[in-house]
Chains A and B, each alone.
Chain A
Amino acid sequence: MARGDRRRRERLRWSKLYSFNCFRPGAQLDAEAPQSLGGPGFSRIVHCNQSQIHRKKPLNYPTNYISTTKYNIITFLPKALFEQFRRVANIYFLLAAILSLTPVTPFTPLSMIAPLVFVVGMSMLKEALEDWRRFIQDMKVNRRKVNVHSEAGQFCYKHWLKIRVGDVVKVEKDQFFPADLLLLSSSYDDGICYVETMNLDGETNLKVKRSLEVTLPLDEDEAFKDFTATIRCEDPNPNLYTFVGNLEYDRQVFALDPNQILLRDSKLRNTSYVYGVVIFTGHHSKVMQNATESPSKRSNIEKKMDRVIYFLFSILVLISLISSIGFGVKTKYGMPHWWYLQPEDDPTNLYDPKKPVVSGIFHLVTALILYGYLIPISLYVSIEVVKVLQAMFINNDLHMYDEDTGNPAQARTSNLNEELGQVDTILSDKTGTLTCNQMDFLKCSIAGVSYGLVSSEVEMAAAKQMASEASGDPDRSSTGQWETSGHRPSEIELECGISSTFEKARKPTIKGFSFEDDRLMKGNWMKEPNASTILLFFRILGLCHTAIPELNEKTGDFSYEAESPDEAAFLVAAREFGFEFCKRTQSSVFIRERYSSSEDPVEREFKILNLLEFSSKRKRMSVVVRDESGQLLLLCKGADSIIFERLSKNGKMFESDTTKHLNEYGEAGLRTLALAYRVLQESEYAAWNAEFVKAKTTIGGDREGQLEHVSDLIEKELILVGATAVEDKLQKGVPQCIDKLAQAGLKIWVLTGDKIETAINIGFACSLLRQGMRQIRLSTVDLIAQDVKKAAKENLLMQITNASQMVKLEKDPDAAFALIIDGKTLTYALEDDMKNLFLNLAVDCASVICCRVSPKQKALVTRLVKEGTGKTTLAIGDGANDVGMIQEADIGVGISGVEGMQAVMASDFSISQFRFLERLLLVHGHWCYKRIAQMICYFFYKNIAFGLTIFYFEAFTGFSGQSVYDDWYMLLFNVILTSLPVISLGVFEQDVSSEVCLQFPALYQQGPRNLFFDWYRIFGWMGNGLYSSLVIYFLNISIFYDHAFRAGGQTADMAAVGTTMFTCIIWAVNVQIALTMSHFTWIQHLFVWGSIMTWYLFLLAYGMSSPLISKNAYQILLEALGPAPIYWASTLIVTAACNIPYLAHISYQRACNPLDHHVIQEIKYYKKDVEDQHMWKREKTKARQETKIGFTARVDAKIKQLRGKLHRKIPSLNNPTVT
């Protein structure tokens, strides 16, 4: 019993702190009574603890089963087939295949149907595999277990998918809520619980939920034995922040609000368990309602390819028309004379000279099938195969494998590989993507002295570069070294942000603490001149917070459960300085103080009299404490601007020094807070406290305002103590990655649900912002006007116009602008009449940061960028709140981190660290783009070259639709004889190696500028195809015209001519692809030369087969063509004639107009990079797009600044941090 009591008391203590903010007297039904319950949109009825009722009508709500798959076993076939035949080309081939069963066909049905079945089958197989993977993921979630009330107060574990509406569930600490729940009670007596909603909105701070008072007694399993209640509430909707409903319990009605609702996919924290009733299950839950159907995305190249296919299709129709008119004419005027065709006797009407129009129309169909080779049927399937293999390379890339989490990169859909090479704008989430959501105490300024030797990466790199330039050796430029020395050493260096001397000392890291300065550590601070101020500083760190200590029983250390990670970092710092916060009671905080390492700690008690909460509006928090000597102190920490304006006259002693330090810290990307205190007089405090208590107990909406006002009264006349600098720990390699991406010419927008201050700090930390950048902040001011919305919009419009003017009028080319906007303002900015103005301004800015944006807004911003600029966007995020954005963007990348899988499930690619984005885009994207682009162009070439010869020949057969080639040749042409080389081009081609891609980010711009798939290139290749077809056909026809082609006097028949021509085609297109490739591994050699060999082998085998199969091709190679020199001679000349113009073209281009990758290939070829390392390094540093963001840009800016200093004769090169 005693134990239970203690626990009860402890719970009280825990929650008391937070109750401060959500204190609310009783359940009030009167004022906020939901108006329309039971009406449309509010018809849901939940019978608590009677889930069986919900199994049947009319309350037949779905189970908690979720499915994100596109198909199921029954719908797969029709749906997937429908998807396949949404492609125009496939419909065409389907029609052709059907028509091939009728007499109009020029080919055998098999040769039409087999490729179609193959192509469609392959694509469907791929779809099925991808959907299967989704299904497995869903099942993992569905099979999670939760404790559910079965009967008579017994709880048992059930799979999530078995949960029904009305079930009472018990969720334990650190578990996800399986469905949307109504909170009944928690392990705390006052029915509160802490919830982490990171998966919903990306916010990492804990939210407090509070149950109704009437349900508080239901806090044991047995209590649910005969618990019944009815909930009437709104219907399922996607709105995360509203809930309307009421609870009928105990014959009374209580209003419910979002405070009592626990949403699926959020997590229970700091609370050992809660009981709840399931309200919305499965797809009815708010998070699932928010999930939009994952759109099937298609890459730009593919869309363009469709247009080319339409173009080819029009050509196809055109030549078919020509040929059918020709046929009609020939049939009408020629046919009656061609007695050997017996034109009189034709029941099918196909060749009836008396009905030339009918014959012509029939022939149109024939011709459409015959020239189908213009439209590469195998193009789609080859692209699918290539993309799957490319995706395999992405999945297997060890450079994108994260050892820590054990996750490799994953291309979840392979449709978009080449799109990775064309990205223009990256929209990134912050928490979990750029940052790890962990704070490190790095520096502080106390009494005007800056402590903390650990320097940030920017300072270090700048110092190095300055040093090397001063010594006149540009080779040693830091950026150069950073890049050349590969990644490993430099990354560690930059990552830790410390100079090598401290590297060892820092290794045994304490989470949240990277401070390094002997002046303060180990009690040395006592020897500093301002020891008393330092003492106060440490006490503020230890006292002014809302955290709770947790004793780790194994190590005896304390860890801290804090609302925000920076608070935890402060407490860790205080502990390391010798001020260990060890205990919090309802009214006191206990700190174990140890002034020097030899002393034993002394536990001191500080009475917490008042706690003035932090809010984003106040930007500060304070505590009023009474120390052991009875002195009353107000300790305050907050944003520097806020604190500075509240300083007393004698409190400004260190203001100028501290300001300087704060600027330095800010520059270094650190998150800063100023600390101050005030000694209170008893009488003054007593008066103020009375007012405070009054305000606190006010009932009504104005309570907050009053509290704020009262707090204001005492938080003044402060005395500045110092400032802290905390590093919001970035994910590994983020600054470098952003730097590289910026150099590759990519624009980066940060969209975060976080506070504006946090976002700006991160902007600094990852070099999206820097000192000297002009920040444009768009915000809504609270206006008192008739029409608030209109006024706000007008105001915003003015802000945007002004800012645009400013950007336009800026003369300095080095000036950079940053746009910072918050979610509320964004609502207006995204409206139709404003969005273009806003977008234009945003595009002109070097970096854009949107704060406090909802998931929906993230998606809207993404759409705005995507549609407004017409360029390719990539969205990257890790949480469920990023899903909308990930789905909206052209490419969605999910971070497969620790939390949740929603983002990954919705994404097209998943990587486990932001830094892998660099390799994903610069290497894989670049390669895939070029591969696919070249491959498609080549496909067009190949099929035009082949298809047109059929047309020419037909003109010589009286347009009768006869093909010169054997059906089998045509069947094999696309499927076997030319498919593997082009696949090897699409899979293995590398214009430059991956190292070069990374070293020369500017090469990436070839993708966004679309150098390899513009109309010029496409038509160039088509022209090449046209030329080749002419050469192949007319050379062969002339060579085999009418005379004997062998010493034996035999003349060539159709089989001989067709086979020779086909041999020429095989040679020409394969030599062509060999000329196109720049990277030959044994695979390419095997495929290209193997294809040619295969053709001869096939011809041999085909010739050997029964003459019933091979017909006129029987023994053709061995007997007729092989021994004929003219056969080989014609192959040689046609192949040469086809490829010489292309060879001349590429030689000329390389000679006179080399592209970047040409030059780099040459440098590598001649090993100049090894011989002339100086040049190589210089080019690497130059090879970037001009950028105003990123690490390098910042180093440049810093150098400019330092150089300025140097001129003013302030040499501070060696240690720029301690000045």
Chain B
Amino acid sequence: MMNQAGGSTSGSGDAAPAPRRNSKRPKYSRFTQQELPACKPILTPQWVISVFTLIGVIFIPIGVASLLASNKVVEIVDRYETECVPKNMTNDKVAYIRNAAIDKTCTRTLKVPKDMDQPIYVYYQLDNFYQNHRRYVKSRNDAQLKDAGKANETDSCDPEKTTADGSPIVPCGLIAWSLFNDTYRFTLGNKNLSVNKKNISWKSDRNHKFGKDVYPKNFQNGTLIGGAKLDPNKSLSEQEDLIVWMRTAALPTFRKLYGRIEVDLKENDTITVTLENNYNTYSFNGKKKLVLSTASWLGGKNDFLGIAYLTVGGSCFFLATAFTVIYLVKPRKLGDPSYLSWNRNPSGR
């Protein structure tokens, strides 16, 4: 009579059936068991000494080669911004440069210290000029430069976006507006040294960044005149000075390529430079330099790289020696168990 069926059904259905168990078993793979084959290099004395020696052996020749390359480069640097100011205006250079009525022509003579093989690169160097200022760097619009149809895109070109009546400036922005406008003419004796201003910019810039059908529009038409004016009949891709200028420099002191002189110069040649000192660096006491330089495979004249290589290489030799001494003076057999902590102080802690 009693409900026996109810009493006999056992309720715990927790016992897992066998197949479910198997599915929980992690699968073996060397990866999941963290048993992948591995190389476990350790810093044996041989390794340490040879690594340091090797670095030294590699670095010192590089350093020597760099120094040689740098020494081969001949460089003429002429600072002219002070000398080109007329004597009577030295007290107020800013007024001098702002006064468009004054003739800015200035003549400099340079002496060639050593033979210079062509091509000789002509640079202008500015100092204390923050081409890397955030306000300056941002102030351009690449779309506008590339595409003739996008002349109206003047985003981020503040404050040189549009003219007073609202039509867009091409190229817009502070960078273009403040384009460097000193010019140089060189004569060697009475022979004109022509400056080749072609291909001084990156080819990719000319071909892809600055449009061949984009022409300057409303440029330097405002009340505030910044730097150079552009020929409205030349497309931007041909305005290489602009292209070079638009590559903002990393530091407040920078050189930019002006052109190439494709004539060899002899030692003690005297070059006369006729320059137009138009660009205002006087407001911020910036220096202006004219640089003539040859180039080696490493670029311009700079001993730093060579010295750095020699220093690092030398210190590696020093370290190699130091470690040799350490290993000799205080030798430790590698894998010597007596260095294990429990052997070093047997008291335990």
* Residues in chain A within 8 A of chain B (CB atoms): 1, 4, 7, 106, 146-147, 155, 170-176, 187, 220-221, 272-273, 334, 337-342, 345-346, 350-351, 392-393, 395-398, 401, 405-408, 953, 956-958, 960-962, 964, 988, 990, 994, 1002, 1035, 1037-1058, 1078-1084, 1107-1108, 1111-1112, 1114-1115, 1119-1120, 1124-1126, 1129-1130, 1132-1133, 1136-1137, 1140, 1143-1144, 1146-1148, 1150-1152, 1154-1156, 1158-1166, 1168, 1175, 1178-1179, 1182-1186
Contacts and interface: CB of A to CB of B under 8 A. Distances in A.
Interface in B192-229: 200, 202-205, 208-209, 224, 226-227
B131 to A, nearest CB: 8
B190 interface: no
Given A406-B24, A1124-B299, A1165-B40, A1054 B132 contact: yes
Most buried by A among B6, B59, B227: B6
Given A174-B12, A956-B251, A1151 B284 contact: no
Contacts of A1043: 75, 255, 293, 299-302
B16 A406 contact: yes
A172 B11 contact: yes
Contacts of B204: 1107, 1114-1115, 1119
A1186 B348 contact: yes
A170 B299 contact: no
B326 A1148 contact: yes
Contact of B202 (A345, A405, A1119): A1119
A440 B107 CA distance: 113
Contacts, number: 337
Contacts of B129: 340
B132 A962 contact: yes
A1045 B55 contact: no
Contact of A173 (B10, B45, B59): B10
Nearest to A1166: B335
B312 A1041 contact: no
Contacts of B119: 1049
Contact of B295 (A1047, A1163, A1175, A1178): A1047
A339 B130 CA distance: 11
Nearest to A351: B135
B91 interface: no
Interface stretch (B109-117, B230-238, B263-271, B338-346): B338-346
23 contacts: A172-B11, A173-B7, A272-B7, A273-B7, A338-B283, A396-B26, A960-B134, A988-B34, A988-B36, A1002-B342, A1042-B255, A1054-B137, A1080-B41, A1107-B142, A1119-B203, A1120-B202, A1129-B298, A1140-B52, A1140-B315, A1140-B319, A1144-B319, A1151-B45, A1162-B42
A1166 B59 contact: no
A528 to B, nearest CB: 44
B88 interface: no
Contacts of B330: 1151-1152
Interface in B68-109: 75
A252 B43 CA distance: 88
Interface residues of B, number: 119
Contact of B159 (A338, A346, A1140, A1166): A346
Contacts of B12: 174-176
Contacts of B136: 340-341
B247 A1112 contact: yes
Contacts of A176: 12
A1156 B340 contact: yes
A1047 B297 contact: yes
Q: Which 6 A-B pairs have the closest CB atoms?
A: A1043-B300, A406-B21, A272-B7, A175-B11, A1162-B335, A1049-B121
Given A351-B135, A406-B25, A1042 B34 contact: no
B164 interface: no
B31 to A, nearest CB: 9
Given A273-B7, A1115-B204, 19 more contacts: A172-B10, A176-B12, A393-B34, A398-B26, A964-B250, A1051-B256, A1125-B297, A1129-B62, A1129-B298, A1129-B309, A1133-B59, A1133-B308, A1137-B308, A1148-B326, A1150-B42, A1155-B341, A1163-B335, A1165-B334, A1182-B343
B123 A342 contact: no
B299 A1042 contact: no
Contacts of A1143: 48, 51
Given A173-B7, A1108-B146, A339 B280 contact: yes
Nearest to B66: A1129
A740 to B, nearest CB: 15
B280 to A, nearest CB: 6
B10 A1108 contact: no
B26 A395 contact: yes
B152 interface: no
Interface of B: 1-3, 6-12, 16, 20-22, 24-28, 32-34, 36-45, 48, 51-52, 55, 59, 62, 66, 75, 119, 121, 123, 125, 129-130, 132-137, 142-143, 146, 159-160, 174, 177-178, 200, 202-205, 208-209, 224, 226-227, 247-257, 260, 280, 283-285, 293, 295-302, 304-305, 308-309, 312, 315-316, 319, 323, 326-327, 330, 332, 334-337, 339-343, 348-349
Contact of A1126 (B20, B260, B305): B305
A1126 B135 contact: no
B305 A1050 contact: no
Contact of A1049 (B24, B203, B205, B295): B295
B295 A1081 contact: no
Contact of A1107 (B209, B224, B254, B319): B209
B343 A408 contact: no
A1183 B348 CA distance: 10
A147 B39 CA distance: 62
Contact of B208 (A171, A1107, A1168): A1107
Given A173-B10, A173-B11, A1047-B295, A341 B133 contact: yes
A1054 B41 contact: no
Given A397-B26, A1140-B319, A172 B6 contact: yes
A1179 B253 CA distance: 64
A342 B146 contact: no
Contacts of B142: 1107-1108, 1111
B78 to A, nearest CB: 15
Contact of B336 (A106, A1048, A1159, A1184): A1159
Contacts of A1046: 295, 299
Contact of B305 (A1053, A1079, A1130): A1130
Contact of A337 (B36, B125, B132, B283): B283
Nearest to A1168: B335
A1184 B343 CA distance: 11
Given A172-B6, A962-B133, A1125-B297, A1154 B332 contact: yes
A1183 B342 contact: yes
Contact of B43 (A273, A395, A1150): A1150
A147 B6 contact: yes
A988 B202 CA distance: 45
B327 A1165 contact: no
B97 to A, nearest CB: 10
Nearest to B55: A1136
Nearest to B36: A1081
B100 to A, nearest CB: 15
A942 to B, nearest CB: 22
Nearest to B47: A1147
